[in-house]
Structure 1
């Protein structure tokens, strides 16, 4: 038995079992001894290995995650109940979703059937629309942050690096945050993200779902970022009616991607097995997608300044989640 099992956090939440872990921490199933309900408790173990100054920043980010999620009232967004500072590190108490992540499902099944992937994408898009309406950018949409409930629900979680409109207290100049193969081209280039950046990440997530692999992952984080900026994704061969929607969302230029409302309609049609006609208007023609030397779709190559700006991201592995 893990020595943490049975530990009482903040005199209220008793840890039962670990149900997931990542680079920043671990998620526990726990019992709320005040309200007598089962919850998920996210333990930020990274706080154990950083300086006091960075620990303060991490706590600020944890509180920002709770604030971001609290601003969004939608059934497809995981509810955050509480934020705690216990034993020198922050903890987040959340709604427990019985099931697994989209990343786990892809790993177990190899790929997701296109109509089901479109249904999943539709709920994620609805969650993003609610977030954007509340002035929140998620900034880390990826398969590992999409939860598939055993009851059929689809929920978006982990607003740990979300950006709240008008709140720059925890943003570091030149820092790129997020999983590198799900960063939109404009973010890799160091430009400010917008709602369209989250939609691009949704496109990359859906590509991974139907193809079983990330569209831009290469052997190194820097190679992955260069691919995001300079290369077109290979045409998905298993996407069916969802294919043109994915291609539309993965346009390099933010202004050439569909808006959230139109993307939602496209996904709804794809979820019914119908090929969305509107998506074709966003798909590059064969002529425009074939590039000559030096033609990188208006974004250019990843130069020295860009490599400097993305140093923090390059230090992290380009994982599947």
Structure 2
């Protein structure tokens, strides 16, 4: 039993709880003295759910202690040290090192956002902590600024609350479908109850980086339902302040966990930024395998568009995935949010052909085709609708080029950000920006509006996909919006124009704006989907009609 004096309690006959220094959904944190060793410590007194039966409470307590003891075996400079785990009066306590300094959330609240170099430093520390934990089979499950401590004297980054979130029911949909915790930092695959793995912690880190750079999570909304929709369905728009670290942020906020940037590569890229002031691109492109076919397809970061690509004397087309979210509110939480997404793949038009009914542009994305898709063309069924609840679009002057990109003012009446090493190659009514060796092909076409709008154009292009793109498959056309304008997103896989070129994937977005129809697409080998999606997102995000 804990003994109580006038203002203090002693638990386990050893730890004197002296002052409350924090409170959260999982319990209370005390400043305490270890009377045996004569040192200051922090003690977390975990909350007990009074609604649980005696047997359920015992199981929860055992689970808490088991996981806390596992975390105590972790040794890393950026992971909180767990000294002891005790039970007093049937209540579990975790004894940890006492960090003199507040949380990262408190720092941002008091001093405002940090700059990119500081964000990179914090990210490097957290990635080291996550890698060590993941190697030991431990997931954090509740990575957010409030769970990151900043040591006052050294500014050391310290990750706390490891492994406890699952036990306490925070941050994810539990087996029973209830939701509590920090949804703004929760990965979409956990929202949908599909899976939980190291990749989910990395998504949380991506959201955290956006928060500390801008002062607000990119998924903050006015309601829990709005947050769930933002995480699982809405367009992901990193804040302008994330531009210097954009390749890392976009890689971490990849909705498909199989394609998400891994910890080692993210750390390499952040270290390179700290050393050079520039964020490099991926060193080793992701190569999909049959096992890697995603259960969750990335949501279009911008609205869909359809068109025929004509790369260096070629043409390609892109289609994207259908996505829908169902979230129901019940009792104290949200019932399981069902994420229903269609995988998409596609090809591009043949070198000699264009489609008169489409705003001929094409983009090839790199996601592999899904074996679960049928051979029926996407146009045989109604196009799904994605309702996008977006943040205010930035003004033209705010659309600056991320690290590794430049703004390209184009004589065809627009500007956009393209990678530094891409070169312009006009081909008739289409304009291409090509990577060295033409591995990546970014295309743009500007036309007069067409009957039926972007959706009709994309559907027509999809219907002709097999005649214009060798090996066309997995085409998907999705109705959406772009900067509040009607748009359509087309994604597909195809075989490429030559055997040597190999299979390619295309993302293609078409929309109307100011009395014109715009089509932007990116085509790339299926083994380079991560880079292709980044180029596509940046191009569409920074596109400004002139």
Q: Which residue of 1 aligns with 2:334?
A: 314
Q: CA deviation at 1:133?
A: 0.8
CA distance in 2, matches of 1:204, 1:261: 18
State the 1:49 CA deviation: 6.6
Q: CA 1:297/1:92 → structure 2, altered by over 3 Å: closer, same or farther?
A: farther
- Report if aligned partners of 1:6, 1:14 keep a CA contact under 8 Å in 2: yes
- In the alignment, what sits opposite 1:221? 224
Q: Does 1:43 align with 2:55?
A: no
- Helix, strand or coil for the counterpart of 1:26? strand
Equivalent runs, 1:268-307 vs 2, <5 Å: 268-272=271-275, 274-278=277-281, 289-292=301-304, 298=321, 300-303=323-326, 307=328
- Look up the match of 1:18: 20
Displacement after TM superposition at 1:158 (Å) = 0.4
Residue of structure 1 in register with 2:210 after alignment: 207
| Root mean square deviation, CA, Å | 3.0
Aligned: 1:109 with 2:114: no
> Does 2:285 correspond to 1:265?
no
What's the CA shift string for 1:158-189, capped at 9, x where partnerless? 0243679xxxxxx7454556411111111111
Q: Shift of residue 273 of structure 1? A: 5.8
2:249 paired residue among 242, 246, 252: 246
Q: 1:190 to 1:201 in 2, by over 3 A?
A: same
Residue 61 of structure 1 deviates from its aligned partner by 3.5
Q: What is the aligned counterpart of 1:143 among 120, 138, 145?
A: 145
Question: CA distance change for structure 1 residues 178 and 133 in 2, over 3 Å: closer, same or farther?
Answer: farther
Q: Deviations over 1:294-317 (max 9, x none)?
A: xx974722226xx48x987539xx
Pair 1:198–1:303, CA change in 2 (3 A)? same
Q: Find 1:231's aligned residue among 203, 216, 234.
A: 234
What is the Cα deviation at residue 32 of structure 1?
0.3
8 Å CA contact 1:74–1:127 kept in 2: the answer is yes
- 1:203 aligned counterpart, secondary structure: helix
Counterparts of 1:297 and 1:200, CA distance in 2: 21
Superposed displacement of residue 271, structure 1: 3.1
Report what 1:64 is aligned to.
Answer: 66
* Higher-strand-fraction structure: 2
How far residue 68 of structure 1 moved from its aligned partner, in angstroms, is: 3.1
Which structure: greater helix fraction? Answer: 1
Asked whether the 8 Å contact 1:230–1:297 carries over to 2, the reply is no
- 1:184 maps to which of 160, 182, 187: 187
> Which structure has the bigger radius of gyration?
2
SS in 2 for 1:277: coil
Tell me the distance in 2 between the aligned counterparts of 1:180 and 1:210: 19
Q: Check conservation: 2:272, 2:280, Cα contact below 8 A.
A: no
TM-score normalised to the size of structure 1?
A: 0.83
Instruction: Calculate the TM-score normalised by the size of structure 2.
Output: 0.50
Cα deviation 1:263-284 (Å, max 9, x = unaligned): 11112123346221215989xx
Give the 3 Å change call, closer, same or farther, for CA 95–300 of structure 1 in structure 2.
Answer: same
What are the superposed Cα offsets for residues 71-114 of structure 1, whole Å, 9 maximum, x if unpaired? 42212111111122213421111111111111111111221222
* Deviation by residue 1:209-239 (Cα, 9 ceiling, x = unmatched): 1110111121222221111011133232123
Residue of 68, 74, 77 corresponding to 1:75: 77
8 Å Cα contact 2:139/2:163 also seen in 1 = no
Cα pair distance change 1:93/1:297, threshold 3 Å: farther
TM-superposed deviation, 1:205: 0.7
What are the equivalent positions in structure 2 for 1:1-16 lying under 5 Å apart?
A: 5-16=7-18
Partner of 1:32: 34
Residue ranges of structure 2 left out of the alignment (5+ in a row): 168-173, 287-299, 306-318, 336-546
- For the residues of structure 1 that align with 2:274 and 2:50, how far apart are their CA atoms? 44
- CA separation of 1:273/1:42 partners in 2, compared to 1, >3 Å: closer, same or farther? farther
Give the drift of 1:59. Answer: 1.2
